Amino acid sequence: MNPAEPEIRIFDDADALAAGAAKEFAVRAREAIGRFAVSLSGGSTPRKLYSLLATTAGIEWAKVHFFWGDERHVPPDHPDSNYRVAREALFSAIRPPEANIHRIGAEEADAAMAALAYEKDLRSFFGAGGTTHDQNGATSRRPRSGAEGGAWPRFDLMLLGMGPDGHTASLFPGATALDVLDRWVASAWVEKFKSFRITLTFPVINHTSCVMFLVSGADKAAMLKRVVRDHEGLPSGRVKPESGKLLWMVDRAAAAQL
């Protein structure tokens, strides 16, 4: 299947961007039949969105299952933890069932073990009654086992950010994780941060029903043009949901060079 053309929505500022993303999240969550599997992004941009979602009516949080696209190799209460951002800005308000929070166990000393454990959780969720998506684009609810069966998990919604270097999740330019195509989760050393990261891989990202990038700020403008207009082969540019929607939710400052 050919990936659909990305849709770019430009908002006046970061607050309007967060409001637009919250509305899109809410519409999709309300429309979901049964469970709604969402992969949250890291970084600072989504914080406003999470705070808005905390006061958004009409979302049945008990059916929403929270995952992460990536995590820093730190404990859950560390200031750098992507989980901690969501816990403080969203979970503390909506109090979802603990079983619905599929945290990456990044406190594990061995990042590769943390990646394996997260992948096991994903397989358990998506195999047991979740939806998987085989290489021909057919979705199935049969428990399928990952790459062997050619099946991949299918998130209903995935939030992603983009770094000024064009990375997304923890898929950084030149990183070995970019080439991991037979696993659902990878761990990789990130030289610029002198630390490990745990991240979903491109096949998982590209089997998502709707990927929503949130990009805000003038510091992202040059890279956003390179990714969205010049189609340079940067990691963020490799996000092309095979049979899903790609939404770029950007503010005017980030869109200045589009």
The identity of residue 216, as a single letter, is S
Nearby residues of 174 by Cβ (< 8 Å), 6 or more positions away? none
Amino acid identity for residue 112 in this structure: A
What dihedral do alpha carbons 164, 43, 100, 209 form, nearest 10°? -20
For the chain, list the strands marked E by DSSP.
Answer: 7-11, 36-40, 64-68, 70-72, 132-133, 139-140, 152-153, 157-160, 185-190, 195-200, 210-215, 245-251
Within 10 angstroms of residue 22's Cβ, the number of other Cβ atoms is 20
Binding characters for ligand 6PG, 79-98, by CB under 6 A (x = yes): ---x----------------
Interface residue with ligand 6PG among 20, 127, 153, 163 (CB under 6 A) is: 163
Q: How far is the CB of 75 from ligand 6PG (least distance, A)?
A: 15
The answer to whether 124 contacts ligand 6PG (rule: CB under 6 A) is no
How many residues bind ligand 6PG (CB under 6 A)? The answer is 15
**Which residue number, 118 or 131, has a Cβ lying nearer to ligand 6PG?**
118
**247 strand-pairing partners:** 7, 212
Does 44 engage in binding with ligand 6PG (CB under 6 A)?
yes
Nearer to ligand 6PG, 127 or 166 (CB): 166
Q: Does 177 bind ligand 6PG (CB under 6 A)?
A: no
Judged by CB under 6 A, the stretch of 4-12, 18-26, 40-48, 180-188 that binds ligand 6PG is 40-48
Q: Contact residues for ligand 6PG (CB under 6 A)?
A: 41-45, 69-70, 82, 161-163, 167-170
